Amino acid sequence: MIYLFTIIILFVAELIYFRIADKYNIIDKPNKRSSHTQITLRGGGIIYWIAALLYAVLNPSGATWWFLAGITLMASVSFWDDVKGLGQKIRLLFHLLAITCTFFMVNLFGVYPWWNIIIAYILFIGIVNIYNFMDGINGITGLYTLAVLLPMIYVNNYVYTFTENNFLIFPLLASGVFLFFNFRKQAKCFAGDVGSVSIAFWIGTLLLILIIETQNLIWIGFLMVYGVDGICTIFHRIYLKQNIMQPHRLHFYQILANEQKMDHRIVSMTYCMTQLICSTLIIFLYPITGWWIFIISIIALILIYGTKFRLMKY
């Protein structure tokens, strides 16, 4: 019953937001770097923050309030960036504050050495930014989020219980509602920075908890597909002497959607299924092969990524 209630609230909240976005002209206009061609409402991913608020209200605790504070910082600065635009330094400051809230949530300070904490900040910021960079075509953010959360739910229920199950279910429900409006040939809305950054923060928090509880970094493989695409694209842009912080169309999914004219939904589903395969291999083969399954999967993804250069139109 609580899940049905949550879905209804999220649907209603999304529809209300559409009216607000339409009234205040919160839209995404296509430009030469866009993968879409029509003006579309921006910021539909705000329901990830609404889902976090619902979870916090229904599951009040000190840790939950730290999480809500962090995702609220992330969502607020990202929404403002969607509407008015903000400088990189302001966004980075809010991101650091939000991540600090998560670190207080999991009692990271005083337990781990300072250099571990610095690495955690860098990795967390990397996750948030790659998730945001990869949000460019219909369905990719929502579907990829499902591909990350479903293996986590399996791990939580059958391998190692690392968190309260609803902490995984609520973002799953939010993704389902968002996909109802976004996973279309002509999307009703885009996630916007408020959506991609908020769910990236939620995913990052879950991964951090899982890694701490199991004392194992293998679970970072649950973001393997985004990681390979994001990091390889950064190296590609450095090679081309481009500003890596500026928008572009060099991600593999952008080449497929823009230059190869593949349906956005097919590209997004491909990313989702590929990540599900990688995560399944990690869950079932890591106990047998150790980190070899991670290394083999990374190499396979890099080779697949390499086919991008044969598809590009110079």
> Residue 258: what pLDDT?
87
Per-residue pLDDT, 246: 78
Using 50, 70 and 90 to split pLDDT, how confident is the model at 51? very high
CA distance 259 to 277: 26
Q: How confident is the model at residue 249 (pLDDT cuts 50, 70, 90)?
A: confident
Compute the radius of gyration of the chain from its Cα atoms. Answer: 19
Tell me how far CA of residue 163 lies from CA of 21, 146, 205, in angstroms: 35, 17, 11
Q: Model confidence over 202-230: pLDDT tens digits? A: 999 999 999 999 999 999 999 999 999 99
| Model confidence at 37: pLDDT above 80 | no
What rounded mean pLDDT belongs to the chain? 92
| Residue recorded with tokens 């970094």 | 217
Query: For the whole model, what pTM was predicted?
Result: 0.94
pLDDT for residue 276 is more than 90: yes
Residue type, 127: I
User: Across residues 284-307, what is the average pLDDT?
Assistant: 96
At which residue do the structure tokens 């970072």 appear? 220
Looking at residue 176, its pLDDT comes to 97
Rounded distance between C-alpha atoms, residue 282 and residue 293, angstroms: 6
Interval 88-147: pLDDT, tens? 889 999 999 999 999 999 999 988 999 999 999 999 999 999 999 899 899 999 999 999
Residue 266 scores a pLDDT above 90? yes
The predicted pLDDT at position 275 comes to 98
- Is 259 a residue whose pLDDT tops 90? no
**pLDDT per position as a tens digit, 148-191:** 999 999 999 999 999 999 999 999 999 999 999 999 988 899 99
Q: Report the distance separating Cα 104 and Cα 195, nearest Å.
A: 23
pLDDT digits (tens, 9 = 90+) for 65-81: 999 999 999 999 999 98
Domains of the chain, by residue range, sit at 2-311
